[in-house]
Amino acid sequence: MSDLGPSGNDPDAGLQPDIGADLHVWTTRWEQIEQDREDAPQEALEEAAELLDEMFEALHVPTGATEAPETEDVIRAREQIRDVLGRIDRDAPVAAEEVASAFEEARDTYQLLITGRYASGGDAGL
C-alpha cells in the first residue's frame, strides 16, 4: 500500500502532510520538465521517468507486477515509458508519437501520484 492519502471526494485527498517539502520540489521539477519538453522531448521524458521513480520510492508505491494489484496502471505506464527510453538508448527507431504517448503516460502518472486521482477524476484506490 502506498502512502497516498484517503480516497473519495475529499479535496485534500492525496499526499500526506509530511510530504509537503517533496511536493514543492516535485512540482517545481515537473514544471521545468514540461518547459523542456517542447525543445527536447526525449530528454524531458527521461527526466520525467527519473522524477516518477523518485516519487514511487518516496511514496512507497509498489512497482513490481505482483506487489499490489491496485498499482497495475502505474506499473503499465512505467513499463511503457521505460520501453520507449530503452529503445532510444539503443538507437532503435522511436516515432515522435511514441515519445508523446509515453510522456502523456508520465504526466498522468505524475498527476495520480500528486492527487491520488486519475486525470479523468476517478479515484485511484492507491
In the prediction, which pLDDT does 109 show? 94
Tracing cell 509530511 back to the chain, one arrives at 18
Amino acid at 55: M
Which residues are CB-contacts of 58 (< 8 A; sequence separation ≥ 6)? 19, 22
In the prediction, which pLDDT does 117 show? 63
Q: What is the pTM of this model?
A: 0.76
Cα angle 78, 4, 33 (rounded to 5 degrees) comes to 45
Please list the pLDDT of the chain residue by residue as tens digits (126 residues).
344 444 445 544 554 545 677 888 999 999 999 999 999 999 999 999 999 999 999 988 887 766 666 678 888 899 999 999 999 999 999 999 999 999 999 999 999 999 886 555 555 555
Domain ranges in the chain are 17-115
